[in-house]
């Protein structure tokens, strides 16, 4: 389902990912943990091409993208221009239309939920969910509305369909963001610290939704500091350290009998998820 | 009379301010006798405008820092008669009378026509020159030989001139008002107008030597130039009248006029001129007679409104294209868009307008005044609108872009459905500001013969000298149109707000 080989990513001279290998089965829920700056978020952002890896390959459900291509970013000056003018050593070109299309196909296989929700503030809750199916997939509005209502019911927000994001609490916004990502029917859901921006009393409602998803058999990768959540719902926990996978295994192994010294130290520090 | 005197619109404001400041400094020794003061000072200060003023008062083409002209020589001769030196004070032509009243100089000696308006609040000496009107057409034109032939023709005249008052009376004439006669002649050659009417000396100096132009018929509608003096300075008036009489009789006038090639037999009559008594009319209150003065102002306001709306529409659309090219375009287009914004912002609107109207005409692209004004204002404001948009687009958090890309949107969908809808809401206030600014800035287009609200105000004020009353009416119209625009924008902004809590 997901195969990542030797993924390397640097920002300028600072190497963040040192060659990550990762394999994941369909319906498997994986939680990434590790100290801050260890590369977990970068890994997740590489998976759906918000960051472009320097080398390595990513395959999700049959779509493969090679590292080393130029980013198909939304806004900004082309890196090729800067390279030419300022004489940067590594000349990157704008992605070709084919590369860009391939990146987009990979993205559409992965739904992303961000730490800061990133809902579209100018659209209602319902429109936030229907926008991408209508615009990207060309779905009819009535069909998109039906789908959106189902998904909003699933995250327990069907009564807020006509509210604007600014009228919702953080927990409600994050649940809308999950419904929005699900509306594109992704093969895998990526969660990038989905509860870190939330007050403790709002986290549970989001975690509950995620747990339900996992139980339904959604393939998921979750970056989080919620150890109890990791312990309860993860099929596998992956411990990142210094841009490498230090240890990977079932939650019982990672939290109760870690093999790696660094893992042990980390689990000692943050707790092993036992309430 | 002559003049580039226009440039009016934009200069008028600053000159008004200058006069206010100047007036505070100039001593107004109302009680003292002006003639005595001039003699004590040893200098006769005469007000004139040397810009585009040939052959009256103008910079010597050979030695540009030296003023010459038949009026310059006349001023020297008059001063000599009074036993003092002459000193010219440069003053915008259509502001000479206010300048005289403020005491910036002792007399106005600059093609001041003997009209009722000019004698309302000041007095005129006996005339020193007999002028007449001359129709100028392109070489080979046989349709126009007299004033009646101008019916249903496009005719250029100078603002606030005798020609304007004369031509305005013709039924069905399409009159274009120019800030200077030179511009009128240029448009005549560019086929924008069919004829130009101007004072004979100007026609002799500027049109006669031009092989592309011809005098159509004999000169007509003669009148007098005289020197303007403040009403209370009666001794000065008497002394000047005596001096002019003497200069006419001893042949000095003829000598001066022949030198500048403006002598004709009509001038002989000056020797025996006996001034008819002009009764001072009481000054006009345009506020009291608003029924007469408000309609032309309102008509001009419609022009201003049309111009602003069409130009702003162009600016808003063109600005969007520019900012999209600049942020998302491929390399050469991106640089072109940036260069456009920098060049347009870095050069004066006035020059852009003159280049579009007169400059393009020289290359064979003859836009009419309205199109040129819309294009000039629109292209100029497009640069600032694109900067407004740019600020708005860059204010959208990068998380929005990431969320849209993660949902599989391509760059166009991201822009169309996520970035622009949010950015456009953000730029409503600055764009409204620009619209209101343009509404007022549009007065600058009077330099390319558009008669809009400010120009109409200037023209009416010049013939009534009621700057205050007309000014209040004009300001009221501007305010009455721009205030609703800002209310409307506020309402729109509130309606489109999505962060209501």
Selection from B98, B137, B135, B138 nearest residue B118 by Cα: B98
Tell me, what DSSP letter sits at residue B113?
B
Each residue's pLDDT tens digit, B394-417:
999 999 999 999 999 988 899 999
Lay out the sheet containing A14-24: strands in order across.
A14-24, A2-11, A55-60, A63-66
Contact B407 A132 (CB under 8 A): yes
Extract the tokens encoding B437: 């600014």
If phi > 0 it is left, if psi is from -120 to 50 it is alpha, else beta; for residue B7 that is left
| Tokens 């619109």 belong to residue | B9
What's the whole-number average pLDDT of chain B?
85
Where residue B234 falls among pLDDT bands split at 50, 70, 90?
confident
From chain B residues 421-450, the ones with a CB under 8 A of any chain A CB are 421-422, 425
How many Å lie between the alpha carbon of B348 and the closest alpha carbon of chain A? 30
The three-state (H, E, C) secondary structure of chain A, written as one string: CEEEEEEEEEECCEEEEEEEEEEECCCCEEEEECCCCCCHHHHHHHHCCCCCCCEEEEEECCEEEECCCCCCCCCCCCHHHHHHHHCCCCCCCCCCHHHHHHHHHHHHHEEEECCCCCCCCCCCHHHHHHHHHHHHHCCCHHHHHHHHHHHHHHCCCHHHCCCCHHHCCHHHHHHHHHHHHHCCCCCEEEEECCCCCCCHHHHHHHHHHHHHHHHHCCEEEEECCCHHHHHHHCCEEEEEECCEEEEEECHHHHHHCCCCHHHHHHHHHHCCCCC
Cα separation of B178 and B187, whole Å? Answer: 10
Higher-confidence position of B437 and B118:
B437
User: How far apart, in whole angstroms, are the C-alpha atoms of residue A108 and residue A105?
Assistant: 5
Question: pLDDT-based confidence at B3, cuts 50/70/90?
Answer: very low
Q: What is the ipTM of this complex?
A: 0.90
Instruction: Please tell me the predicted confidence (pLDDT) of residue B22.
Output: 47
Q: What is the pLDDT of residues A11-65, one digit of tens each?
A: 888 889 999 999 999 999 999 999 988 899 999 999 989 998 999 999 999 899 9
- Are B45 and B105 a contacting pair, CB within 8 Å? yes
Contact B331 A81 (CB under 8 A): yes
CB interface of A with B, residues 167-206, below 8 Å: 167, 177, 180-181, 184
List, for residues A177-231, the tens digit of each pLDDT value: 999 999 999 999 999 999 999 998 899 999 999 999 999 999 999 999 999 999 9
Please give the backbone phi and psi of residue B424, each rounded to the nearest 5 degrees, phi first.
Answer: -65, -35
Confidence of residue B9 (pLDDT cuts 50, 70, 90): very low
Mean pLDDT of chain A: 88
Q: Which of residues 313-342 of B touch A (CB under 8 A)?
A: 327-328, 331
CB contact under 8 A, A72 and B409: no
pLDDT band (50, 70, 90) for residue B315: very high
Residue of B nearest to A135 (CA): B413
Amino acid A110: pLDDT: 94
Q: In 3D, which of B184, B141, B134, B165 has the Cα closest to residue B369?
A: B184
Contact B156, B196 (CB under 8 A): yes
pLDDT at position A183, please? 96
SS (H, E, C) B352-405: HHHHHHHHHHHCCCCCCHHHHHHHHHHHHHHHHHHHHHHHHHHCCCHHHHHHHH
pLDDT band at B495 (very low <50, low <70, confident <90, very high): confident
> Residue length, chain B?
501
Q: How far is it, in rounded angstroms, from Cα A117 to Cα A198?
A: 10
Q: Cβ of A107 and B398 within 8 Å?
A: no
Residue range A113-119: mean pLDDT, rounded: 95
pLDDT band per the 50, 70, 90 thresholds, residue B222: confident
């Amino acid at each position: 389902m997901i195969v990542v080989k030797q993924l390397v990513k640097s920002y300028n001279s600072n190497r963040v990912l040192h060659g990550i290998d990762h394999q994941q089965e369909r319906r498997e829920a994986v939680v990434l943990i590790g100290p801050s700056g260890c590369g977990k978020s970068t890994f997740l952002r590489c998976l759906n091409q918000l960051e472009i890896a320097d080398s390595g390959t990513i395959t999700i459900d049959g779509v493969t993208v090679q590292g080393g291509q130029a980013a198909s970013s939304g806004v900004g000056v082309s890196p090729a221009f800067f390279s030419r003018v300022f004489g940067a050593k590594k000349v990157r070109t704008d992605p070709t239309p084919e590369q860009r299309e391939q990146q987009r196909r990979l993205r559409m296989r992965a739904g992303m939920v961000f730490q800061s929700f990133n809902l579209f503030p100018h659209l209602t809750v319902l429109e936030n969910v229907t926008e991408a199916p209508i615009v990207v997939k060309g779905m009819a509005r009535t069909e998109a509305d039906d789908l959106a209502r189902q998904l909003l019911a699933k995250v327990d927000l069907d009564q807020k369909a006509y509210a604007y994001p600014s009228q919702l609490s953080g927990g409600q916004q994050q649940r809308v963001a999950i419904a929005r990502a699900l509306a594109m029917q992704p093969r895998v859901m990526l969660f990038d610290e989905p509860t870190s921006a939330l007050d403790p009393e709002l986290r549970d409602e989001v975690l509950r939704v995620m747990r339900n998803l996992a139980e339904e058999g959604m393939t998921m990768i979750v970056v989080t500091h919620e150890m109890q959540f990791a312990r309860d719902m993860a099929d596998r926990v992956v411990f990142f350290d210094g841009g490498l996978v230090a240890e990977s295994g079932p939650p019982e192994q990672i939290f109760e009998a870690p093999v790696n010294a660094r893992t042990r130290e980390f689990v000692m520090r943050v707790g092993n998820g036992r309430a | 009379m002559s003049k580039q005197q226009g440039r009016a619109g934009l200069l008028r404001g600053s000159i008004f301010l200058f006069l206010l400041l100047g007036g505070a400094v100039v001593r107004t020794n109302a009680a003292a006798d002006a003639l005595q003061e001039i003699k004590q000072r040893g200098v006769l200060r005469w007000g004139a405008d040397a810009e585009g003023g040939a052959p009256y008062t103008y910079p010597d083409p050979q030695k540009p820092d030296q003023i010459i002209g038949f009026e310059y020589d006349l001023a020297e001769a008059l001063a000599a008669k009074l036993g003092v030196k002459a000193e010219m004070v440069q003053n915008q032509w259509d502001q000479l009378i206010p300048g005289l009243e403020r005491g910036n100089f002792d007399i106005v000696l600059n093609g001041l026509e003997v009209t009722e308006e000019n004698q309302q609040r000041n007095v005129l000496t006996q005339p020193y020159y007999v002028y007449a009107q001359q129709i100028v057409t392109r070489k080979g034109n046989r349709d126009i030989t007299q004033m009646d032939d101008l019916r249903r023709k496009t005719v250029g005249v100078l603002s606030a001139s005798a020609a304007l008052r004369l031509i305005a009376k013709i039924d069905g004439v399409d009159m274009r008002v120019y800030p200077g006669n030179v511009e009128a002649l240029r448009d005549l050659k560019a086929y924008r107008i069919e004829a130009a009417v101007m004072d004979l000396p100007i026609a002799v100096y500027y049109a006669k030597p031009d092989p592309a132009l011809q005098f159509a018929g004999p000169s007509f509608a003669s009148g007098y130039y005289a020197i303007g003096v403040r009403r209370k300075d009666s001794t000065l008036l008497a002394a000047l009248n005596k001096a002019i009489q003497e200069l006419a009789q001893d042949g000095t006038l003829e000598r001066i006029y022949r030198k500048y090639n403006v002598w004709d037999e009509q001038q002989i009559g000056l020797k025996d001129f006996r001034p008819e008594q002009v009764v001072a009319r009481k000054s006009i209150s345009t506020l009291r007679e608003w029924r007469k003065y408000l309609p032309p102002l309102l008509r001009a306001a419609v022009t201003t409104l049309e111009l602003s709306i069409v130009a702003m529409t162009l600016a808003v659309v063109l600005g969007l294209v520019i900012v999209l090219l600049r942020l998302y375009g491929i390399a050469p287009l991106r640089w072109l868009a940036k260069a456009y914004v920098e060049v347009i912002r870095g050069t004066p609107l006035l020059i852009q307008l003159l280049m579009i109207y007169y400059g393009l005409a020289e290359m064979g692209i003859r836009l009419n005044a309205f199109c040129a004004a819309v294009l000039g204002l629109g292209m100029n404001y497009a640069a600032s609108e694109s900067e407004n948009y740019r600020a708005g687009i860059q204010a959208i958090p990068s998380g929005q872009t990431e969320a849209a890309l993660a949902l599989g949107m391509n760059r166009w969908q991201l822009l169309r459905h996520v970035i622009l809808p949010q950015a456009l809401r953000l730029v409503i206030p600055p764009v409204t500001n620009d619209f209101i600014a343009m509404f007022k800035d549009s007065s600058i287009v009077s330099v390319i013969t558009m008669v809009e609200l400010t120009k109409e105000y200037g023209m009416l004020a010049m013939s009534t000298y009621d700057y205050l009353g007309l000014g209040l009416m004009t300001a009221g119209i501007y305010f009455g149109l721009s205030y609703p625009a800002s209310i409307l924008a506020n309402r729109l902004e509130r309606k489109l707000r999505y962060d209501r809590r």
